[in-house]
Structure 1
Amino acid sequence: MKWIDSEPVFDSMGTLIAALAGVILGGLAVYAAGILL
């Protein structure tokens, strides 16, 4: 039961981590493009 109750929290954390990872990867891509260009 606890696992089911904590599932939404885990999903929101996963979304937050994915968003942070996307921002970091995007920033690195822009940084790399700035060096190459």
Structure 2
Amino acid sequence: NIVLEDAYEVAEDKPRRLGTVVIRGENIVMITPVTRR
């Protein structure tokens, strides 16, 4: 399990603030940092 604070979802180059997110399970393939412009 992974807890992310101040998380954002980026789709079609439009970020959406999600806040605190808990990711559970074995379906996590990759997590990468995003450079803000």
TM over 0.5: no
Q: Which has the larger radius of gyration?
A: 1
Q: Normalising to structure 1: TM-score of the pair?
A: 0.17
Bigger RCO of structures 1 and 2 (CA < 8 A, at least 6 apart)? 2
Q: Which has the higher helix share?
A: 1
In the superposition, the TM-score normalised over structure 2's length comes to: 0.17
